[in-house]
Amino acid sequence: MERKSNLYSVYEDITMEDIPIAQDAFGDQYIYRNGSIYRLNLESGELENLNATLTQFLENIEMNGIEYLSLQQIFELRELGVKLGLCEMMNVYPPFILSCEGKRSYKPIPSQEQIAFLKDFYNQIKNVKDGTVITIELK
């Protein structure tokens, strides 16, 4: 797996001027660009403008961080005994972007591994058209 350290070297919608300011428990990144905060989905490469300044972003987290950062699943998993440790993120199989007939599995892994996995996954699917059937090989 090739490791590229910068988001802009992997994701077409990210530039060298963008500033990553936060990340969630699944690896998605929050980007500061021209006074606004964006959410970068590392699976799909989709960049969503949250229409919030940095101050508003922090206020939204303070008011209802669980919903604003989509952390409900982390608390559901905690009830099942799946917990994140320090410097860990939740790896999801199959990734959220793929349809899933059964249940997804969740496993805490080191943050660097999760981000590297998501970047590699994105590189492999970024040119695949919606609805295409793909096969995932686990190594």
pLDDT digits (tens, 9 = 90+) for 18-74: 999 999 999 999 999 999 999 999 999 999 999 999 999 999 999 998 888 888 888
The burial of 28, by beta-carbon neighbours within 10 Å (0-12 exposed, 13-18 middle, 19 or more buried), is given as buried
Predicted pLDDT of residue 1: 41
Q: Cα–Cα distance between 116 and 119 in angstroms, integer?
A: 5
Rounded to two decimals, what is the model's pTM? 0.85
Domain layout of the chain by residue ranges: 7-125
Please give the distance of CA 57 from its chain centroid, rounded to a whole number: 17
